[in-house]
Amino acid sequence: MLAKNTQVKCGDCPIRHRAVCARCETDELERLEEIKYYRNFEPGQTIVWSNDKMDFVGSVVKGVATLTQTMEDGRTQMVGLLLPSDFVGRPGRDGSAYDVTATTQVVMCCFRKKPFEKLMADTPHIAHRLLEMTLDELDAAREWMLVLGRKTAREKIASLLAIIARRDPRPDLPSGIEASFDLPLTREAMADYLGLTLETVSRQISALKRDRVIVLDGKRHILVPDIGRLLEEAGDDSDGGYLV
């Protein structure tokens, strides 16, 4: 469970320019190297329990993880989707407010918390980058509030697909297909993200397939013939500020 990976030099790290360390100078990277270690997680495995003390913070290097909240009666809501380069943990706080769970194989680059906090205090680059990333996450959370509060089931599904398509671009596209990606989530996880039931998710995916908005290749691989159409279905401003 705690099996450490072969360490990757920060300079060679695939998320080097997007993660919390993006702005670091060489000497700062060296200090980060000293306090970092890798951890692997299997699909379904919990990375942090809500309200547990966290002794580390870190970045997702590979894979997908989720942040979820659960009510006493079992209703659960996903409140964040963590993709490579996303940051986990809150400097200055003891624990996580949410369950963090791996949905695929996940590689985390962890930093021991205390030294990381010290490093943050010493070097402005890390703190500054973290503020920037937190502001982005806040924007994403607020964007998601619109989805949860005001969109129909069909629009919710289309919004989720649009987000994943946006963050996971692929070059190898057959003609007549503008985007293509694997769903890293089960129907149930999608339901938890969207505030729906898994049956409704399944029905709406079928409906989008029937209406040719998407094409399925197996249960988990999605092809999008026309991204503009998908964004339209998502209820987003279709003047395409996002892609293309």
Partner DNA sequence: CGACGTGTTGATTCCTGTCAATACTCGTGG
Partner DNA sequence: CCACGAGTATTGACAGGAATCAACACGTCG
Interface residues toward DNA, by CB under 7 A: 152-154, 186-188, 195-203, 205-206, 216, 219-220
* Tokens read off for 58: 């870190």
In the bound complex, what is the minimum distance in angstroms from residue 19's beta carbon to its own copies? Answer: 16
SS3 214: coil
Q: Which is nearer to DNA, 121 or 145 (CB)?
A: 145
Enter the tokens of residue 61. 């290097």
Question: What DSSP letter does each residue of 5-69 carry, written as one string?
Answer: PPP--GGG-TTTTTSTTTT--HHHHHHHHHHEEEEEE-TT-EEE-TT-B-SEEEEEEES-EEEEE
**End-to-end Cα distance, the chain:** 41
Question: Which residues here bind its own copies, judged by CB under 8 A?
Answer: 67, 69, 71-73, 75-77, 79-80, 90, 92-93, 97-98, 121, 124, 127-128, 130-132, 134-135, 137-139, 141-146, 148-150, 194-195, 235, 237
Which does residue 173 bind out of its own copies, DNA, none, counting CB within 5 to 8 angstroms by kind?
none
| Amino acid at residue number 73 | D
Smallest gap from Cβ 235 to its own copies, in A, equals 6
Nearer to DNA, 13 or 147 (CB): 147
How far is 119 from 23, CA to CA, in rounded Å? 13
By C-beta, is 135 or 207 nearer to its own copies?
135
235, interface contact from DNA, its own copies, none, CB < 5-8 Å by kind: its own copies
Which does residue 41 touch among DNA, its own copies, none (CB within 5 to 8 A, set by kind)? Answer: none
Find which of DNA, its own copies, none residue 148 binds, CB within 5 to 8 Å per kind. Answer: its own copies
Nearest-approach distance from CB 47 to DNA, in angstroms: 17
CB atoms closer than 10 angstroms to residue 215: 15
- Judge whether 66 and 78 are in contact, CB under 8 Å: yes
